[in-house]
Amino acid sequence: MARAKVVIVGGGYGGITLGKKLDGDFEVTIIERKDKFMHNTAIPRAIVSPPFADKACPSVIFLIFSDIYFLRQSVEEWEGDQRRSGRNFSR
């Protein structure tokens, strides 16, 4: 039986955490416009130690470690089934 598909818009702390939690039960795709994950608490150290900047902002793909699909795109408009989500995503 095919797994249900879930799309997560945003690859920050919440998006990646949710994706990892749902992976295995669902086919998960994360859409994120940036290819780097900004680890906010590491930014001050990256400012005073520039070589640390690559560790403070790693590639999003290296943070996933699973079967989650990653699309580097931005979402301009959403035309999904709004009844299933319970929320209105239109502008």
Q: Which domains does the chain have, with CATH numbers?
A: 5-75 (3.50.50.60)
Question: What is d(CA 43, CA 54) in angstroms, rounded to the nearest whole number?
Answer: 10
For residue 61, the model assigns a pLDDT of 62
Contact call for residues 46 and 56 (beta carbons, < 8 A): yes
42-70 tens-digit pLDDT:
778 888 888 877 777 766 665 566 788 88
For residue 64, the model assigns a pLDDT of 60
Element (H, E) at 69: strand 69-72
Between 34 and 80, the more confident residue is 34
Over 70: is that where the pLDDT of 2 sits? yes
Over 70: is that where the pLDDT of 91 sits? no
4-47 tens-digit pLDDT:
899 999 888 888 889 889 988 999 998 888 877 777 777 788 88
Question: What is d(CA 71, CA 82) in angstroms, rounded to the nearest whole number?
Answer: 22
What pTM was estimated for this model as a whole?
0.65
For residue 86, the model assigns a pLDDT of 44
Question: What is d(CA 56, CA 49) in angstroms, rounded to the nearest whole number?
Answer: 11
